[in-house]
Amino acid sequence: MIGEAYRWVHRAAHILANHEEESGAAVRRAYEELLKEMVQGKDTLGPLAPAIAHFQKVTASYGEGLFHSYDIPDLPRTNNDLEHCFGSVRYHERRATGRRGTVPGVVVRGSVRVVAAVATRFQHFSASDLRPDDHAAWLELREQLAYRQETRRAQLRFRRKPKAYLAALEEQLLKTSLPS
């Protein structure tokens, strides 16, 4: 009974390792077949039967995201690989700025800086590669980044002089709410 359970777990690991480099759909099919086989045979496991239910529950919780990495090249396969990727970005940001903690620029411009840092690890870009194809999308992104930067500036103003900041907000509110 324990031998059968271990064989299933090892088969699951082999399927997910995907040494044959099959597509995500093929890996999903093989994995689902294994899960069906496990359900049908769990009665033979005796006291280990609840472990199969738990295995299925954990597998279901990962759901759709479990098989994306087979279709998208260079997408990290595990959470550890993904965390290593982001940890590397944090390390290089701290190294470049000399800061020990989180770099404020990553908070404000993270959607751009993190993607750029990750992408440049795999490929070198020329100036023509960096030119935006969709000018409207580029302007929208610049607007979002400017909004985040202004939010950070407002937080700094509030921390430095909270009374003056709140007074300016009240004045702004009164101007917009009163008819002229």
Domain count, the chain: 3
The H-or-E segment that residue 5 falls in is helix 2-17
Q: Domain limits at 137?
A: 133-180
The predicted pLDDT at position 175 comes to 82
Within this chain, do residues 139 and 168 fall inside the same structural domain, yes or no? yes
Within this chain, do residues 127 and 143 fall inside the same structural domain, yes or no? no
Q: How far is 11 from 9, CA to CA, in rounded Å?
A: 5
Within this chain, do residues 12 and 35 fall inside the same structural domain, yes or no? yes
- Evaluate whether 107 touches 101 at the Cβ level (below 8 Å): no
Within this chain, do residues 56 and 6 fall inside the same structural domain, yes or no? yes
The CA-based dihedral angle spanning residues 10, 14, 15, 18, taken in that order and rounded to the nearest 10 degrees: 170
Within this chain, do residues 9 and 41 fall inside the same structural domain, yes or no? yes
**Which stretches in the chain have pLDDT values below 70?**
105-111, 177-180
Question: Exposed (0-12), middle (13-18) or buried (19+): which is 163, by Cβ within 10 Å?
Answer: exposed
Within this chain, do residues 10 and 64 fall inside the same structural domain, yes or no? yes
Within this chain, do residues 59 and 116 fall inside the same structural domain, yes or no? no
Domain boundary among 24, 52, 70: 70
Within this chain, do residues 154 and 172 fall inside the same structural domain, yes or no? yes
The predicted pLDDT at position 145 comes to 84
The predicted pLDDT at position 139 comes to 93
- Evaluate whether 48 touches 5 at the Cβ level (below 8 Å): yes
Q: What is the pTM of this model?
A: 0.53
The predicted pLDDT at position 128 comes to 83
The predicted pLDDT at position 96 comes to 77
The H-or-E segment that residue 153 falls in is helix 135-160
